Amino acid sequence: MNKRLSISLLALALAVFGLLTLGCEDSEPTAKATWVLEVTANPATINAGPGETGQATVIAVLFDENGRLQPGVGLRFSTTAGSMASAGNVVQTDQRGEARDTLTLAASDTEAEVKVKSGAVEGKVTVRIGDLAAPTASISINPSGAARIGSGVTFSGASSEDFDGEIVKYIWTILSNNPDPTKENPEVIETTNQAIIRTYTNTQHLDVGLTVEDNDGLRDTSSDQYDIFANLQPVADAGPALDGNAGLSGKCTVRLNGCSSSDPDGRLVAYRWTFQTINETRFNTCTFDWPFEVNENGTLVTLTVFDNGDGSTPECNTPNIGTLDDCPTRKTDEDTTTVICRPAQ
């Protein structure tokens, strides 16, 4: 056998081997040209941070021209970015006519077009890389606004949210203008718990900061302010506006009621009512009937309430009008209402 004939026979053998190999790899039936291939991805947008990868499941469903699912058909998945788990090998549809493959993308890929092909039939889907959503920090403090020395204060981040994962860390920073001697200033408390409880021995103003961190390492910060007092301020409530008609006396007798006033950490020892158009003051009753002259523009009535301070001195507990200013820790509050007295009809 001459040399040229040997080379020709070798080439022919290699070609036959390649055809046999290809035939084995694509031994599954392929789709007919009239069939339909539907392709979807879950999720269609992958969240991945810098240096991270994310995955999506690509699902191909094969129908014939009459809408019947086609099992046992070979499909190939390919992508313009990232990689497919099948690495270009044939994936066969199952009994539901579905074939699945996994796409892996890096954050730097931005997006990928995945093509699924069987014979002359093909389908496509686009998968994108989305921005990771940072968490949202939210502070609530109980009791609200202020607390008395020695009482427990709950700082909570339970209302904080993370829409694409979970919050894994809560970092509290509490700065005081008059810190307790036993506390660092600022206090920095890092925890996995949503809430912390603190107790204070000094009167002070607090600047409260909360930083939350999610499972992707993204953070958000919120802030609030809070006060610690020796005595909390009372709350005056002069009641709703009153509207009456004058009787035979030519006056309206209305009942003023400030009994809903309160003191969150003690008790009220005095009530002072003053009238805008009348040179009168009434003490030490939360409700009473009072006659008003006809005045269709209304008369403004002011209620001032006095609490018992921090209870440290006897003067703080007395309702004596002359000693209301003798309690250094006493606090007051004011509220107003309006009384309209209309002429008799």
pLDDT at res. 64: 94
DSSP 21: H
Element (H, E) at 16: helix 3-25
Number of neighbouring beta carbons within 10 Å of residue 178: 12
Distance between CA atoms of residues 27 and 78, nearest Å: 19
Distance between CA atoms of residues 10 and 88, nearest Å: 29
pLDDT band at 13 (very low <50, low <70, confident <90, very high): very low
More confident call, 28 vs 67: 67
> Are the C-beta atoms of residues 269 and 319 closer than 8 Å to each other?
yes
More confident call, 17 vs 227: 227
- What are the phi and psi torsion angles at 300 (to 5°)? -85, 130
pLDDT at res. 333: 96
The number of residues making up the chain comes to: 345
pLDDT at res. 110: 87
Residues facing residue 116 across a β-bridge: 77, 123
pLDDT at res. 27: 59
Distance between CA atoms of residues 66 and 147, nearest Å: 74
> What's the whole-number mean pLDDT along residues 284-307?
90
**Which amino acid type is present at position 312?**
S
Distance between CA atoms of residues 71 and 63, nearest Å: 9
Q: Is the dihedral of CA 15, 18, 24, 25 positive or negative?
A: negative
- pLDDT tens, 69-119? 999 999 999 999 999 999 999 999 999 999 999 999 998 898 999 999 999
pLDDT band at 216 (very low <50, low <70, confident <90, very high): confident
pLDDT at res. 319: 67
> Are the C-beta atoms of residues 82 and 109 closer than 8 Å to each other?
yes
- pLDDT tens, 187-215? 999 999 999 999 999 999 999 999 999 98
> Are the C-beta atoms of residues 135 and 167 closer than 8 Å to each other?
yes
More confident call, 326 vs 189: 189
Torsion angle of alpha carbons 95, 96, 97, 102, nearest 10°?
A: -100
Distance between CA atoms of residues 216 and 135, nearest Å: 10
Query: What percentage of residues in the chain have a pLDDT greater than 90?
Result: 66
The owner of tokens 């940072």 is 134
> What's the whole-number mean pLDDT along residues 312-341?
83
> What's the whole-number mean pLDDT along residues 235-258?
91
Residue 266, burial from CB neighbour count under 10 angstroms (0-12, 13-18, 19+): buried
153 contact partners, CB below 8 Å, separation of at least 6: 141, 142, 143, 147, 197, 198, 199, 200, 226, 228
Average pLDDT in the chain: 88
pLDDT at res. 22: 42
> Are the C-beta atoms of residues 127 and 84 closer than 8 Å to each other?
no
First to last CA, the chain: 136
pLDDT band at 173 (very low <50, low <70, confident <90, very high): very high
Residue 341, burial from CB neighbour count under 10 angstroms (0-12, 13-18, 19+): buried
